[in-house]
Structure 1
Amino acid sequence: MAKIGIEGTLADVKGALQEKGHEIVDLRQEEDSNGCDCCVISGQDKDVMGMQTTSFSGSVINADGLTANEVCKQVEERVGS
C-alpha cells in the first residue's frame, strides 16, 4: 500500500485510509512529506506546515468539501492502489 501524508485535522480521512491498509504519516513540518506517495491537506491553511515552497513531487489532494470516502477514492486513483 501507499505511504500517505495527512494534515492533523483530517482524523476521519486518516482512519479511512488506515482501514484500507495505507501507511499514514502526520504532516507537521515540511520534512514529514519525505517518502510519501501522496499528501492530503485540509485546504484550511494555504501554506500547510509553514511551507512557502516545497520540493514534494507527489500528488497533493485538497480535502476541503470532500467526504472521507471521496478522498480515499482520489488517493487510490493517484497512487494506483
Structure 2
Amino acid sequence: MAKIAVENSLQDVKDALQQSGHEVVSVDNANLQNCDCCVISGQDEDVLGIAETATKASVINAQGMTSDQIVERVNQSLS
C-alpha cells in the first residue's frame, strides 16, 4: 500500500485513493518526507513550500482532472 499525500481541498481524490487501497495523508512537510506520491490542486504551485521541499515523491497537479484520472496517474507513477 502506497502512502499518498493529498492537499486538503481534494476530498473526493482522497476518497478515491483510499477506495483504491492507498494510505492517504495530508500534504505537510512531515508527510512529504515519507510519501510515495503527492497530489496538489494546482491552485497554488508552492503549497506549503513543496517547491523548496526535498522529496523524491512524484508530484501530481490535479487541476482539470477527474478523481479517476488522478488515481490512474498515481498508479502509473508508482509502477
Shorter-chain TM-score bucket reads: over 0.9
User: Residues 4-50 of structure 1: CA distance to partner in whole angstroms, max 9, x if unpaired?
Assistant: 000000000000000011000111x3222121000000000121014
Q: Paired residue for 1:70?
A: 69
Q: Paired residue for 1:17?
A: 17
Identity of aligned residues (%): 48
Q: 1:51 to 1:3 in 2, by over 3 A?
A: closer
Displacement over 4 Å in runs of 4+: none
TM-score (norm 2): 0.93
TM-score (norm 1): 0.91
Aligned length: 79
